[in-house]
A and B are shown apart, each in its own frame.
Chain A
Amino acid sequence: MCRVVDLRQAVLAKNDASAHQLRAHLAARGTAVVNLLSSPGSGKTALLERELLRARQRSVPVAALSADLATENDAARLARSGVPVKQVLTDGLCHLEAGMLAGHLDGWLPDDTRLLFVENVGNLVCPASYDLGETLRVTLASVTEGEDKPLKYPTAFGLAHLVVVTKTDIAEAVEFDEAAFRANVEQVNPGVEVVLTSARRGQGTGVLLDRAMAAADGVPVHSPVMARQSHHHGHTHADNGHTHAHPEATGPMAHTHP
């Protein structure tokens, strides 16, 4: 016979559960993940090269994982900083998922890692939907991409804890309108910090590392409006955090939110 069955399940419930689990697992060993999202060519790798070098100078144990559809160039560039680097080829998949990330970290990520920078696949649509268990989500856009980027990709910018503008050394040449960009970011993500950087000139480098360190130390990150609706499994998390066992989670998945 024919039956209608209520399921009421979040489509991404599995990814969310894996992300919660990974976040808790990494937090227990003192590691925080920074998830970097942007279009291809925005300058994620270039900025990361700078931040990794600086972390090394400050003796902060960091590592980086770079996801790419097909090439390994980014890892080679990042490895020049001397920190542990891993390249993940997604084989055409346009985003990373929490379970995949956990698999790649297993047996590779050094125990004492304080910060793990994840360069997500260059794409502002798909990666935005997948929580990787990060403590800090950063969305980047270069001055060449146009001031309306945040409006074209509202979930990527709307869910960011920090927004980074790159390539400011060529801002004048491309007539980048900083005020318009900031207003557009504010529209989709009121209150989020916007940082201006140029990896080429060294402007604003170190800020990302500072913000990541603060987040890893437990300083509350920005709470985006878009992230505040009852997240997938149907409850809201207060800014000050809470402890609970999720209905779908047993044992190890019961967790504390930072």
Chain B
Amino acid sequence: MHEMSVALAVVDQVTEAATRAGDVTAVRSVRLQVGELAGVVPEALAFSFELACAGTLLEGAELVTEAVPGRARCTPCAHEWAVGMPPRLTCSGCGGTHTELLTGRELQIVDVHWEDGGPTHAPTREPISEER
């Protein structure tokens, strides 16, 4: 059960982002993408998340998880398929093994809903990610 470690990492990163933003007073919800092959059980994560949030800026925050199905493509024959669980990563079209995994390994914080002391105007989506 590493869902607690995962939950703590989420709380950590959201807290850091909120601290950088400055005047965040409360976090309402956190949206996570969880790939089918990420090795995380969403129910266990939700439980751990509630505990991990206690006593932090995220106290009471809702965790919204988006499941991402695993998809793969065969490089030689271009066949594309849902890998399923347990995953089939050999090509179901030609039997080949030169497979590209397109989706399914995601374990990512997508966005966060928070309250801040800023001026009241229409909600904006502001990218604060360093990766952009």
Binding site for B on A (CB under 8 A): 1-15, 93-95, 97, 125-126, 128-130, 150-152, 154-155, 158, 186-191, 225-226, 228-234, 247-248
Given contacts A8-B108, A8-B111, A229-B105, 20 further A-B contacts (CB under 8 A): A2-B114, A3-B115, A4-B113, A5-B111, A5-B126, A5-B128, A7-B112, A8-B131, A11-B109, A94-B2, A125-B1, A125-B2, A151-B86, A154-B37, A155-B38, A158-B89, A226-B37, A247-B131, A248-B130, A248-B131
Q: A5-B112, A154-B86, A155-B37 are in contact. Are A11 and B28 (CB under 8 A)?
A: no
Q: Is the CB of A1 within 8 A of B89?
A: no
Closest chain B residue to A248 by CB distance?
B130
Q: Is the CB of A11 within 8 A of B108?
A: yes
Q: Is the CB of A1 within 8 A of B13?
A: no
Contact pattern, B 13-47, Cβ under 8 Å of A = 1, otherwise 0: 11001000100000010001000011110000000
Binding site for A on B (CB under 8 A): 1-2, 5-6, 9-10, 12-14, 17, 21, 28, 32, 37-40, 72, 85-90, 97, 99-105, 107-116, 118-121, 123-132
Number of A-B contacts (CB under 8 A): 160
Give the distance to chain A from B99, nearest Cβ to Cβ, in Å.
5
Q: Is the CB of A126 within 8 A of B10?
A: no
Closest chain A residue to B122 by CB distance?
A1
Closest chain B residue to A224 by CB distance?
B89
Closest chain A residue to B2 by CB distance?
A126
- Offer 12 A-B interface pairs, CB within 8 angstroms, sorted by A: A1-B118, A3-B124, A6-B126, A8-B131, A94-B1, A95-B2, A155-B39, A158-B89, A188-B89, A225-B72, A229-B101, A233-B131
